[in-house]
Amino acid sequence: MKIKRSYIIITIYVLINVLVLLFSKSITDFCISVGVTSIVLGLVIKFLLKRKLYIYPIAAGSILLLFIYFMH
């Protein structure tokens, strides 16, 4: 059974965020990590997978980082 690259990338994304959640000292650090990794996931989708749905993770990460910036 062939595993798609997109499943592997999303699994790595989720594992990174779970590890940061376990080891972060505050929810702000976790939210910043999720925002940054969402932007990186969007770039990976654009350049490695050559898909056009890259704007959604980039937009979500940017909105989360702006939200944390203005609320902090």
Per-residue pLDDT of the chain (72 residues; tens, 9 = 90+): 456 777 887 888 888 888 888 888 888 888 888 899 889 888 888 888 787 778 888 898 999 899 988 887
Q: How many domains does the chain have?
A: 1
Cα–Cα separations (whole angstroms), residue 31 to 1, 13, 20, 39, 42: 35, 14, 9, 12, 17
- Integer-rounded Cα radius of gyration of the chain: 13
Is 28:68 a contact under the CB 8 Å cutoff?
A: yes
So what's the pLDDT on residue 1? 47
Q: Is the pTM of this model over 0.85?
A: no
Q: Which domain holds residue 20?
A: 5-71
